[in-house]
């Protein structure tokens, strides 16, 4: 007889993992979308959101759930940690999960282990008038526990700080404190992998491109950037950071920056999950020739992981089409895209047609991804400037 297990997040890019789990477990699933495609593989579906954690707890008690799964989902980490604690289940990543989902605790852990990081401080919202800033520096303000660059903004004085906190009120209204840190200028990277047996095992490294005029979310991402020096630096720093926050075993998404000024490497964010859902479920399995959900399930169940080998020879470049003002999104003009971009591409629509899209200074304003494949980095560099020029000049959203 199958045991029960719970899964959080039932979207299209999580199907492979859910389908595999359904062969071994009677699955109960939770999602705020009652039309999610993963529902058909469940024994029982519950239309509950993360805020319904006590209702979810009661369901898990009734079904005697002993194990939880989620694939590349930020919101589930805190929820599963809460359920493990209330159900008296072992959770070896308990401390790491708490630290990784709180930006101040992460910075504090780095400082304690003498890992280089930008200047930072946690500030109470009711004491902003006493905040002292260096007039020659720029700073970033971040909510302590959000993701996707929601509510994150750059400022250079108290007046700008207070103005933007009011502007992004919804992201800060439930918080008493915020994280303030010095803005570093440099090249951003992210590295995907697994932490296991006290070492970080990399899948691939990505080169991230931002447009700081509009948003701190990535404007574009070069997946599987093959640079041995950067990979070695990222792998070493990710290992140190995982040890600093006391990870036992987990999938890891890690972001870092190499400063233009000092040429030193600084950690930015760490998450005990894979990359964003679409990237995690679509492109990483091409790079590995194996679905990343297989690796994550084996790690969760068996506490072991097979050797990971990057077999994919091409680079994948994702360029996000964003809105820059409030509008009703209808469609992306693919015909105009083909006329302007002279190389092959695929288009993935992210937003529902005829829905309002709000500029939030984050990844929430993305309406589509334009997907390119390149043979090597030289091939990518030949077209990168041209692609960016096309997107700067033209508006492809109807």
**CATH number of the domain bearing residue 139:** 3.30.1490.20
Lowest mean pLDDT, pick from 30-34, 76-80, 196-200, 388-392: 76-80
Is residue 250 within 8 A of residue 239, CB to CB? The reply is no
- The burial of 180, by beta-carbon neighbours within 10 Å (0-12 exposed, 13-18 middle, 19 or more buried), is given as buried
Same-domain status, 190 and 166: no
Model confidence at 268: pLDDT above 90:
yes
Pairing of strands 265-271, 315-322: unpaired
108's CB contacts (< 8 A; 6+ apart) are none
Q: Which of 112-126, 159-173, 293-307 has the highest mean pLDDT?
A: 112-126
Q: Which residue has the higher pLDDT, 278 or 392?
A: 392
Same-domain status, 214 and 250: yes
* Domain limit, last residue, from 294, 312, 330: 312
Same-domain status, 201 and 286: yes
* Residue from 215, 210, 363 nearest 276 by CA: 363
| % of residues, the chain, pLDDT over 90 | 37
Lowest mean pLDDT, pick from 7-21, 22-36, 112-126: 7-21
Task: Answer yes or no: is 218 within a domain.
Answer: yes
CATH code of 272's domain = 3.30.470.20
Same-domain status, 301 and 390: no
* Domain limit, last residue, from 73, 91, 109: 91
Model confidence at 273: pLDDT above 90:
no
CATH code of 28's domain = 3.40.50.20
Model confidence at 45: pLDDT above 90:
yes
Same-domain status, 169 and 218: no
Same-domain status, 266 and 298: yes
CATH code of 368's domain = 3.90.1170
Report residue 233's pLDDT band, with 50, 70 and 90 as the boundaries.
very high
* Domain limit, last residue, from 152, 182, 212: 182
> Given this model, what pLDDT does residue 247 score?
92
240: its two tokens = 């140190």
How many domains are there within the chain? 4
Same-domain status, 26 and 52: yes
Local structure of residue 62 (DSSP, 8 states): H
Task: Answer yes or no: is 97 within a domain.
Answer: no
Task: Answer yes or no: is 328 within a domain.
Answer: yes
Task: Answer yes or no: is 237 within a domain.
Answer: yes
Q: Which of 76-80, 272-276, 385-389 has the highest mean pLDDT?
A: 385-389
- HSE-CB of 331 using CA atoms within 13 angstroms: 5
> Given this model, what pLDDT does residue 16 score?
82
> Given this model, what pLDDT does residue 120 score?
92
Same-domain status, 353 and 250: no
Task: Answer yes or no: is 104 within a domain.
Answer: no
Report residue 312's pLDDT band, with 50, 70 and 90 as the boundaries.
low
Q: Could you give the CA distance from residue 49 to residue 214 in angstroms, rounded to a whole number?
A: 30
> Given this model, what pLDDT does residue 277 score?
63
Task: Answer yes or no: is 251 within a domain.
Answer: yes
Same-domain status, 80 and 175: no
Mean pLDDT across the stretch 98-126? 92
- The burial of 309, by beta-carbon neighbours within 10 Å (0-12 exposed, 13-18 middle, 19 or more buried), is given as exposed
> Given this model, what pLDDT does residue 197 score?
84
Model confidence at 77: pLDDT above 90:
no
Model confidence at 6: pLDDT above 70:
yes
Residue 197 has a CB neighbour count (10 Å cut-off) of: 10
Q: Which residue has the higher pLDDT, 102 or 296?
A: 102
Q: Which residue has the higher pLDDT, 89 or 14?
A: 89
Same-domain status, 201 and 298: yes
> Given this model, what pLDDT does residue 283 score?
80
Same-domain status, 359 and 291: no
Mean pLDDT of the chain: 86
* Residue from 106, 124, 50 nearest 82 by CA: 50
Model confidence at 324: pLDDT above 80:
no
Phi-psi region of 345 (alpha: psi -120 to 50; beta: other; left: phi over 0): beta
Q: Which residue has the higher pLDDT, 274 or 127?
A: 127
Same-domain status, 318 and 361: yes
Report residue 364's pLDDT band, with 50, 70 and 90 as the boundaries.
confident
pLDDT digits (tens, 9 = 90+) for 131-189: 888 888 899 999 888 776 777 888 888 889 888 888 877 777 777 888 999 999 999 99
Is residue 13 within 8 A of residue 38, CB to CB? The reply is no
> Given this model, what pLDDT does residue 90 score?
85
- Domain span holding position 326: 314-398
Task: Answer yes or no: is 99 within a domain.
Answer: no
Report residue 311's pLDDT band, with 50, 70 and 90 as the boundaries.
low
Task: Answer yes or no: is 96 within a domain.
Answer: no
């Amino acid at each position: 007889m199958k045991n029960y297990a719970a899964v959080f997040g039932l979207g299209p890019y999580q199907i492979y993992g859910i389908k595999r789990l359904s062969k071994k477990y009677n699955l109960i699933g939770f999602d705020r979308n009652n039309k999610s495609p993963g529902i058909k593989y469940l024994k029982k579906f519950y239309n509950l959101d993360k805020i319904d954690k006590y209702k979810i707890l009661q369901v898990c008690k009734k079904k005697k759930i002993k194990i939880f799964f989620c694939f590349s989902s930020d919101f589930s980490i805190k929820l599963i940690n809460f359920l493990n604690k209330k159900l008296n289940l072992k959770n070896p990543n308990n401390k790491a999960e708490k630290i990784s989902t709180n930006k101040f605790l992460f910075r504090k852990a780095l400082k304690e282990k003498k890992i280089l990081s930008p200047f930072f401080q946690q500030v109470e919202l009711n004491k902003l008038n006493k905040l002292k800033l260096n007039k020659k520096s720029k700073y970033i303000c971040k909510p302590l526990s959000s993701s996707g660059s929601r509510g994150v903004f750059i400022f250079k004085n108290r007046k700008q700080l207070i103005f933007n906190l009011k502007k992004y009120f919804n992201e800060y209204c439930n918080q008493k404190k915020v994280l303030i840190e010095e803005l570093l200028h440099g090249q951003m990277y992210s590295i995907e992998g697994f932490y296991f047996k006290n070492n970080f095992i990399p899948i691939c490294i990505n080169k991230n491109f931002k447009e700081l005029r509009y948003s701190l979310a990535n404007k574009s991402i070069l997946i599987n950037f093959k640079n041995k020096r950067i990979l070695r630096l990222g792998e070493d720093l990710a290992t140190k950071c995982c040890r600093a926050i006391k990870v036992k075993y987990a999938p890891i998404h890690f972001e870092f920056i190499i400063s233009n000024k000092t040429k030193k490497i600084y950690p930015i964010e760490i998450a005990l999950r894979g990359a964003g859902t679409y990237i995690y479920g679509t492109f990483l399995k091409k790079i590995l020739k194996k679905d990343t959900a297989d690796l994550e399930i084996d790690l969760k169940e068996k506490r072991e992981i097979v050797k990971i080998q990057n077999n994919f020879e091409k680079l994948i470049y994702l360029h996000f089409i964003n809105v820059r003002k409030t509008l009703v999104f209808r469609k992306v003009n693919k015909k105009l895209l083909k006329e302007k971009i002279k190389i092959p591409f695929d288009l993935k629509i992210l937003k529902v047609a005829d829905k309002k899209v709000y500029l939030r200074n984050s990844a929430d304003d993305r309406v589509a991804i334009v997907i390119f494949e390149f043979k090597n980095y030289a091939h990518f560099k030949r077209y990168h400037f041209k692609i960016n020029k096309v997107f700067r000049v033209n508006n492809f959203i109807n």
